[in-house]
Amino acid sequence: MIVTDNINAVQKSRWTDPALRWGFVPTMGALHQGHLSLVRRARAENDRVAVSIYVNPTQFAPTEDLAAYPRNLESDLALLKQENVDLVFTPSDRLMYPSNFQTYVTVEDVTRPLEGASRPTHFRGVTTVVAKLFNIVQPNRAYFGQKDAQQVVVLKRMVDDLNFNLEMIICPIAREADGLAMSSRNVYLSAEQRAAALVLSQTLTAAQQAFEAGERNGTRLQQLMVNSINAQPLARLDYVSVADAVTLAEVTGAIEGQTLLSMAVFFGKTRLIDNMLLGG
C-alpha cells in the first residue's frame, strides 16, 4: 500500500497501467465501518483502490469543529491495509490550498436547503475539494455514502454539470446494531447522549411506518418527526425535512415519487444527521 502526500506519486501510481480501473473513496479519516463498507465495495468492483484522508478546512465554518475533528492516521492506515487498498493520499493543507489559491466550485439550487441552510459555506468546500481530488486521482468510479444524502445530490450535479469522466457509486448507510448511523462524530457523544441519539433512526422508522400505513401528506409527516425529536429532552432540533429526492424542494402537500426524509439534531455541541429515502 502506497501512502503519499504527493500529487506526482499519486499520478505515477495511477498511470503505471492505463488499462487498470481505479475506484476512489474520499474520506476525512477517523475511519469506521461505514467508510470501510465503501472501501470494500470499491475493492470488489475495481482493479485498484485509492482512498484519500483529508480533513478539508474549507467545508468547516469558523464556528465548527475543524480543530477538534477526530484524527487517527496510524489506525486508519492499518484498517486500509487490511482492506488491501493500493494507494492512500494524505495531502497537506499547503498542497491543497496554497497561499495563492482562489478558485472554488459552486453548485447552486440543491446546495441551498437542509445542510446548506444551516451550514452556508459547507458545500462550496465539499465540491471544491472533491473536484480537486477527482482531478488528482482521476478515478473510473468514486464511492460516496447515502449517509450524507444532500452531498450525494450535490456531487452528482457537479459531476454531470462539469463532465467529470467517472461513475458515482452510492452506498447504503452503515448503522450500529441499535440503529445509530455510524459517524466519526459519534465519539463526541457522552453515554447519555449516545443513548438519546437513537431518536434519529427511531424517528425515521416511525415516519416510514406512517408512510407505509398510508400517510401521504408531507407536512403531517414532518410534524410527526418534529414531535418525535422534541420528545427527547437531550435532543435540540436543527431541521427536519420531507423533500423531493432530486430537487430537495420541501414537500408540503401530497408525497409522490422518491422522497428524502432528513434531519440534523444537536446533542450538546455535537450535530448528527440521518436520513431515509421513501417511495419512488
- State the residues that interact with ligand AMP by CB under 6 A: 27-28, 34-35, 37-38, 144-145, 147-148, 171, 173-174, 181-184
**Residue type, position 215, single letter:** E
Instruction: Report the distance separating Cα 108 and Cα 125, nearest Å.
Output: 13
From the list 26, 30, 34, 35, the catalytic residue is 35
- Closer residue to ligand AMP, CB minimum distance, 186 or 228: 186
- Closer residue to ligand AMP, CB minimum distance, 221 or 264: 264
Q: How far is the CB of 62 from ligand AMP (least distance, A)?
A: 19
Instruction: Report the distance separating Cα 123 and Cα 58, nearest Å.
Output: 9
Q: How far is the CB of 99 from ligand AMP (least distance, A)?
A: 25
Cell numbers that stand for 95 in this block: 498542497
Instruction: Report the distance separating Cα 99 and Cα 169, nearest Å.
Output: 33
Grid-cell match 483529508, residue found:
54
Q: How far is the CB of 209 from ligand AMP (least distance, A)?
A: 22
Instruction: Give residue number: closest CB to ligand AMP.
Output: 145
CA neighbours within 13 Å on the CB side: how many for 132? 22
Contact 199, 178 (CB under 8 A): no
Packed helices 122-137 and 7-14: angle between N→C axes, nearest 10 degrees? 50
Instruction: Report the distance separating Cα 278 and Cα 275, nearest Å.
Output: 10
Report residue 136 CA to chain centroid gap: 20
Q: How far is the CB of 171 from ligand AMP (least distance, A)?
A: 6
122 catalytic, yes or no? no
Extended strands (E) in 200-269: 236-244, 259-267
Q: How far is the CB of 181 from ligand AMP (least distance, A)?
A: 5
Cell numbers that stand for 118 in this block: 444551516
- Closer residue to ligand AMP, CB minimum distance, 34 or 113: 34
Cell numbers that stand for 98 in this block: 496554497
- Closer residue to ligand AMP, CB minimum distance, 60 or 211: 60
What number of other Cβ atoms are within 10 A of residue 137's Cβ? 23
- Closer residue to ligand AMP, CB minimum distance, 152 or 235: 152
Known catalytic residues are 35
